[in-house]
Amino acid sequence: MERWMLDSNVEAYHNSKDVNASLNGVLNALAMQEADAIQYYSHAKTCIDKISAEQPDKGAILNKMLDQIIEQKNNHDASIKKAAAICGGLKPPKPDAYDKAVKNE
């Protein structure tokens, strides 16, 4: 991620004084970075498979490590997106909202 993506939200805040929109912009920039990182890790797994074709045990160990990193990145990505949505004015659903809406409970 380029630093200007974050800095531009500070400038936007100074121009508009809209805290929520500026915070949302910062968090969305971070979410984009997390999504890019997940794609890079996934591609790295493919590369490891190709390189370690003759020694698959080594590739399996490294890919297991990358799977754990990807899982953590997915958790970060989900958390950042939720925070961005809240800053953007969206209210997260209450835990029982699905049951009330779908199951008429």
At CA 76, angle to CA 71 and CA 77, rounded to 5?
95
The number of angstroms, rounded, from the C-alpha of 53 to the middle of its chain's C-alpha atoms is: 31
* Six-digit token string for 83: 């925070």
- Give domain limits for the chain: 3-102
**What pLDDT score was predicted for residue 89?**
81
pLDDT in tens, 76-85: 888 888 888 8
Non-local (6+) Cβ contacts of 68 within 8 A are none
User: 59-82 in b/e burial notation, b at 16+ Cβ within 10 A?
Assistant: beebbeebeeebeebeebbeebbe
Tell me the mean pLDDT per 10 residues along the chain, length 105: 87 90 90 90 95 94 93 88 83 68 66
